[in-house]
A = this chain, B = another copy of it.
Amino acid sequence: MNTKENSLELMKTRIIHSFRWNVDVLSPLSEELEIPINEFEEILINNLDMSSLEALHATFESAKSEFLMEKLRCDLSLYWLVDVLKIISTEDYNKLKSKLLGKVAKGEEYEIVLKFAKKEVYHLLKK
């Protein structure tokens, strides 16, 4: 590996080691996919170029919100309630979604947002 490649790899490693990458991407994905963290880190460094990492840097927060909303959708079985059974209307779902995205954007913890969301779903089902 020449000096240029070496310094590029170092820059990529630094980004991936940053706090938010570690907490939001590296640790949870390595755990969920059952891939040792150092091996998963190597996969990321080999597969991502600097321009992807820089582009992502700018959109990281919106990517994170989108992902947490997808996770909430799963954990609340919203596919069944909204899309299949249609016992929560699209209008109510959109209102709920923006409420939850607001909480996520404020940095509230996932488990706390999920607990709040379950109560909201309960009220929508009972109304």
Are B67 and A79 closer than 8 Å at their CB atoms?
A: yes
Q: Inside 8 A of A77's CB, which chain B residues have their CB? A: 28-29, 32-33, 67
The oligomer's copy count stands at 2
Q: A87-B44, A126-B43 are in contact. Are A32 and B79 (CB under 8 A)?
A: no
Judge if A52 is at the interface, Cβ distance under 8 Å.
Answer: yes
Which residue on chain B has the smallest CB distance to residue A75? B32
Are B52 and A85 closer than 8 Å at their CB atoms?
A: yes
* Per-position 1/0 for A102-127, Cβ under 8 A of B: 00000000000000001001100110
**What 10 pairs between A and B have smallest CB-CB spacing?**
A74-B74, A47-B87, A63-B84, A43-B125, A67-B79, A29-B77, A70-B79, A32-B77, A71-B74, A33-B118
